[in-house]
Structure 1
Amino acid sequence: MTDADVHALSGAYVLDALTDLERAAFKRHLAGCATCAIEVAELQETAARLADGAWSVPPPALRDKVFAEVSRTRQDAPVAAKPVRPPRSRRLLTVAAAVILAAAAATGTFAVQERRLDDQRTTAAAESARVTEVLAAPDAILRTATSASGVRLTVVTSAARDEAVLTMAAERAAGTDRTYQLWMLDGSTAINAGVLPVGTTSATRLVSGAASADAFAVTIEPSTGSPVPTLPPVGQVSVA
């Protein structure tokens, strides 16, 4: 192996793409070559940065699923073949292509995540602005009631905006596999105003179409919610 060949192995060394003999030879060369040492350090830093946006912790069950699938998949019998070592130039091209693909995947994943976060921030900001507008409306009316079950409902309505801000606070969670569900009552019609996540004991919801509402209520429902309220409600406040 010539000196020129050894100098060209820094990229493959960083990506662990050398044979045992090439790695041993390059390590000996690296100990006395400041240029290669600097290049290796820079390439290692670059590779680490490329991986930052793409890594993720695999789910705990992934290993068991992979081994289960392997046990069900029929394996081909091994076929003896004479090993063919590709030219060094081809190996280096393969390494370069892998680095480029890894960088592209990391960039794409980061862009998708950022776009989703931006959408969530935009939606949350818009709803927060609407809540503020209801609370500050000239015709805003606040009503509150606390039930014997320890559920407190507070509602601010604006007839001009046809909206209401409904806040619920409970002393305890609804129970195992149960949750609280909010309702707007318009005569004999109950309109779903939000199913809370299991375990949640407080929430604030912006409700549209509230000008014709008679009352707001909260019931205890299955974890996925119900199409109609399970009576009796555990909390209710009249706005009529």
Structure 2
Amino acid sequence: MKKAAGFALIKTIPIFLGYIFLGIAFGLLLQKAGFGVLWAFLISLLVYAGSMQFALAGILTGGLGYLTTAVMTLLINSRHAFYGLTFIDRFKEMKGAGPYMVFSLTDETYSLLCSVARPRGFTDRQWKLAFLFISLFNQCYWVAGSVIGAVMGQMIAFDTTGIEFAMTALFTVICVNQWLAAKTHLPAGAGFLCGFLFLALIRSSGFILPALMATVALLLIFKHTIEKKMEDPS
């Protein structure tokens, strides 16, 4: 267990650096909306949805109904349904920890779980524990950042204009790192192409779901080509 935890701790350091500051940004926004430290802690613990939490800060003060909030949450986080397809078998093997792994599959955690390589000498149990610790540590970072931000918002007056850009900045860094580490850029190219195409057609945040569906379709069509590139990138 210590070996798996140590491995996860090292691998999640970049996420720690991002989540602490993103969490602080969320905590500050929530505090500005009139909600205190307890709200920041509970939302990050029980909702834990990144961009949805930033939207939730406005929803809580906007008087939206439960149904509207539920539909918005589903649409904003619909991309996670595609993330989960990658790890269905893996999470089933984790048995009792499986439901938590599904709950904790954020964009950054998904990216890390996809790219992390199994160390030599790790047993199956240690590898499963490493997956669990990666997810758990990432959520702890987010919760800690949110609480710190809420506390800071109570003690110090902040101008929070533009602070929500921290989420975009983290996504950009992850994208660049994945691009540099990838053996083939076909999947990323498909994602960029579909994203720009549907953004031009729909011209609203609703472009994300159809863009993801089109990207998955392209990846399935060109599956064998991508697998060959992964085996021999030359």
TM-score (norm 1): 0.20
Q: Which has the higher contact order (CA 8 A, sep 6+)?
A: 2
- The answer to which structure has the higher strand fraction is 1
- The answer to which structure has the higher helix fraction is 2
Q: Which has the larger radius of gyration?
A: 1
